[in-house]
Amino acid sequence: TGPYLKLIEDVIQDLVPRYNLKLLVIGARKKYINEVDHELIPWNAKTEVEDLQKIDIGLYPLPNEEWVYGKSGLKAIQFMALGIPVIASAIGANYRVIDHGVNGFLAKNNNEWKNFIKILCNNHSKRKAMGKSAREKVMKKFSVKANRSIYLKVFDKTFKNIN
């Protein structure tokens, strides 16, 4: 999803130097944002959680394309599970995953992206509170424990149909 950073390139180019931010991009094989120094971290299953924990604000830009409507919001859920507030494009499953203003923000345009990043950069306690709320939502709605009965019903139905 590295190329999706191009969707908010102007925002990143403006805010990274202004706020002295460090942009970490996990999994991309090349840099997609010009004129902004950022670190590429190769995706590695063994270090994925450790790598994600280096992030203070999760960015999840997506294009307005039909293919995106089938995405599950997994990146947002990953950030949120680690207590990281997320800013995501206001599209598709992100509406189901993120409670706008509670555990993250849903951005509709570059002005909103910029505003929401500024809010989280300028307010450490809000960032922490949103991160805590994000983790609580994941544990309540998206964890294995929260979905245990659904999984068991699927397994039960599947194995009854085999016999």
Give residue 17's pLDDT. 92
CB 98 within 8 A of CB 78: no
Inter-helix orientation angle 110-122/9-18, to 10°? 30
Question: How far is residue 30's CA from residue 110's CA, in Å, rounded to a whole number?
Answer: 23
Give Cα 30 distance to the centre of its chain: 20
pTM (two decimals): 0.89
Calculate mean pLDDT across residues 139-151. Answer: 85
Calculate mean pLDDT across residues 104-124. Answer: 98
The beta-strand segments (E) located in the chain are 23-26, 38-41, 58-60, 86-89, 104-107
Inter-helix orientation angle 74-81/124-137, to 10°? 110
pLDDT in tens, 55-99: 999 999 999 999 888 888 999 999 999 999 999 999 999 999 999
Residues 118, 22, 116: CA angle, nearest 5 degrees? 20
* pLDDT over 90 (residue 155): no
Q: How confident is the model at residue 159 (pLDDT cuts 50, 70, 90)?
A: confident
Give residue 163's pLDDT. 59
Give residue 52's pLDDT. 96
* pLDDT over 90 (residue 53): yes
Calculate mean pLDDT across residues 17-25. Answer: 93
* pLDDT over 90 (residue 102): yes
User: 92 phi and psi, to 5 degrees?
Assistant: 55, -135
Question: How far is residue 83's CA from residue 49's CA, in Å, rounded to a whole number?
Answer: 12
Q: For 21-25, 98-102, 118-122, which range has the lowest pLDDT when averaged over its residues? A: 21-25
